[in-house]
Structures are given as structure tokens and as C-alpha cells.
Amino acid sequence: MADRDLSSDADHALDRVLESTPRRGGRTRPSAPDRVFDAVNLTILALVLVALVYPLYFVLISSISEPSLVNTGKVTWYPRGLTIQGYTRVLRDPNILIGYRNTFIYTAVGTALNVTLTVLAGYALSRRDFKGRNVISAFVVFTMLFNGGLIPLYLVVRNLGLLNTLGAMVLPTAVNVVNLIIARTFFATTIPDELLEAARVDGCGTARFFFQIVLPISPAIIAVEVLFYGVFHWNAFFEALIFLNDPDKYPLQMVLRDILLRARLSEMMFTGDPREFAEIQMLAELIKFSAIVVASAPILLLYPFLQRYFMTGVMIGSLKG
């Protein structure tokens, strides 16, 4: 028992959540009530795990199974009648490819803009000697409590001539208040005042201090912000719905909405052979399953590598909660 970790520093909280040291009931065998508890607890959690994972697994196996078998309920635990038709049709659809390209551009440009503005402002607001930080913080936070509404925002974007442009997809969401607070809290808690004082004594100005000292020791906050904003842009749908009406500018999510929710399968997915239209009905669901995988794969594949930063961000964000 002596070698047990007794510290309860918040610093280690993240490690403990991720790689938790299990609390065991000493060296004695668990008591009867505890064994019952564990059995019930693990059973429920195992069912929860199945409920969480199975829908995603089902989409995956359905996307590579013969549609007639999926539609009649013969595909349950593993793919049957393997086919890649869904994927070839989805990837043959120019709308999907345009959507992919547009989403890629919006995500790259938008995230770069987001992270730049957020990290710069977050650092300034974290400085205790920054006169006006309270006023500016209040000015920013007020936008979380009250907003002018959808129509006035739409009119602003229209007046700026941004409708149907890249600008409409990245500028109205350039700074997120929660992400800004995360950046501010991060800098306020990780950059000691002594470091700034020491730099000043050495004649280091504010800009140099930030770019040469603060940024190099803060890759974690950059990663957190890139992750949060990047996921937001990849999944963004609302801005496109409101500000875009040119299909050539549509991001992936708008294309997906047509395929998944409006049953609008692009004719381009089919070669034009009239006999093929009989297949459309059959293939419609297969294409939906494949489209879901194609759209979600990039984020879900990257997710295991990014999980740590994601957790860090949530923890910082809730520090003041």
C-alpha cells in the first residue's frame, strides 16, 4: 500500500483519467457485495460499449456487403457478399469530390485563421499587466450571452459581399469564445511571470518574447486549438446552408446531406445505362453507408492520435467551471 500514488495534484488528473491506477480493495479478496457490484457494473458497461460501437461497426460492414442481404437483415455481425460498389459509386460522384476539395480548403484556411487569431488574442488576454484585459474579456464573453440573431448576421455577411465565397465559410466563425478562453487559461497557467521578467531584464520585447519563448514551449495549446477548430470545419454544415447557394462551393457535409437525407443521388454516380436505374433503389442504401464511411474516416482515423490533445483541451476549458 505504501507505494501507492497518494498525490492528488490536478497536474496528474489527465494521466489518471487516461491511464488510471486502479483502486483495489487492498490485498484481501473483494467482499461479496463488491463482487456483485463488479459483476453488475461490468455487465452494464459491456452492454454500453456494444451500444456505442455496434452502430458504427454496422455502418462499416453494411458499406461492403451485398445490399439485398443488408436490406433483408442477413448482415449482422460480419460483412456478406463482399462488394465495393458503394465506394466506387461514391468516389465516382463529382459532387463528393468537389465537396471533399472544398472542405479541405475551408478546413485548412479556416483553421489557420482561427488558430492565429485565437492564440494571439489568448496570449494578450492572459497577460496580467495588459491594461484593458477585463474590458476586452467582458466584451468578448457578452457575445456568448446575447446575439443579434441569424437574419442580422446574414445581412452583415451579404453586405460584406461574402455570400458564396470562402470568406463566408471562415470569417463568421473566426474566433470561438470557448476556444479563446482555453488559450487564455493555458497561457495564464503555464507561462510564469518570472519568465517574462527575466526576458525583460535581457531586453527582450513583447513580440520577441511571444514568438521566440512562449510559442516554442506551447505546442500543446496549438495542437488543442487546431484539433477543436479543425474538427469544427470538417463537420461544418450550418454556415454552408446559410451563406452558400452555389453547389460548386458546397463543402462535403452539404453534399452528404443531399445523399443521406434528401435521397438525391447524383445521376453522375451512374453511367447512364437505362438498365442501371433499376439498380438505383437497391444501391441507394449501400451508397449511403459508403458515403458515411468516406466522410467520417479522416477524423475517426486521426482521432486515436489526437485524443490526448482533445482531453487536454477539455480539461483546460473546464478549469474554471
Site for another protein in 197-256 (CB under 8 A): 197, 200, 205-207, 210, 231, 234-235, 237-238, 242, 253, 256
Residues 191, 289, 290, 309: which binds another protein (CB under 8 A)?
289
Whichever of 193 and 276 has its CB closer to another protein, that residue is: 193
Whichever of 23 and 275 has its CB closer to another protein, that residue is: 23
> Mask of contacts with another protein, 114-133, x by CB under 8 A?
--xxx-xx-xxx-xxxxxxx
137 binds another protein (CB under 8 A): yes
> Mask of contacts with another protein, 6-35, x by CB under 8 A?
x-x-x-xxx-xxxxx-xxxxx----x-xx-
**What is the residue whose three cell numbers read 500514488?**
5
* Residue 248 DSSP symbol: G
Residues 142-161 that bind another protein (CB under 8 A): 143-156, 160
Cell (9 digits) for 162: 461574402
Q: How far apart are CA 319 and CA 173, in angstroms?
A: 24
Least distance (Å) between residue 81 CB and another protein = 15
Q: How far apart are CA 242 and CA 256, in angstroms?
A: 16
92 binds another protein (CB under 8 A): no
Q: How far apart are CA 276 and CA 274, in angstroms?
A: 5
Q: Using the rule CB under 8 A, give the single segment among 78-86, 87-95, 217-225, 293-301 that binds another protein.
A: 293-301
288 binds another protein (CB under 8 A): yes
> Mask of contacts with another protein, 42-81, x by CB under 8 A?
x-xx--xx-xxx-xx-xx----------xxxx--------
**DSSP alpha helix (H) spans, the chain:** 13-18, 32-62, 67-71, 85-92, 94-126, 133-145, 150-159, 166-170, 177-190, 193-201, 206-208, 219-235, 238-243, 252-261, 276-318
Whichever of 82 and 151 has its CB closer to another protein, that residue is: 151
Least distance (Å) between residue 200 CB and another protein = 7
CA distances (Å), 19 to each of 14, 153, 194, 298, in order? 8, 45, 33, 26
Q: Is 25 exposed, middle or buried (0-12, 13-18, 19+ CB in 10 A)?
A: exposed
